[in-house]
Amino acid sequence: MTVTRNRLLARRARSDTRDWQVKRRERTRQLIELGGLVAKSGLVELTDDDRAVLLGVLVEAAARLRGEDRGSQLLLWRRRGKRAFGDAAADQAEARTSDR
């Protein structure tokens, strides 16, 4: 009975279209995706999941973006990020073909 009730409540929450609820789900999704990027970058393992270090790295990046070379820094990081996404896509494609 409790399981059925919980499923009903979860289904109702997912289909709630009130503006504040939709915005909350969008923000939650964005935060999950950003956390995934931090994990994908390898920083979690490299810092032994030290949250203070991770925040320090992000604060340092924000400080660099406030500097004079903002455009070149964004360009550099965008290229590295696209390369990392490409490498990840290639790794996934290779894993799919090796499973066959």
pLDDT tens digits for range 58-100: 999 999 999 999 999 999 999 999 999 898 777 777 777 776 6
Q: Give the per-residue pLDDT at 50.
A: 97
Contact 28, 37 (CB under 8 A): no
pTM of the model: 0.69
Q: Give the per-residue pLDDT at 13.
A: 79
Q: Is 68 helix (H, G, I), strand (E, B) or coil?
A: coil
List the helix and strand counts (H, then E) for the chain: 5, 0
Distances (CA, A) of 2 to 7, 10, 16: 9, 12, 21
pLDDT tens digits for range 11-43: 887 777 788 888 999 999 999 999 999 999 999
Mean pLDDT of 36-52: 96
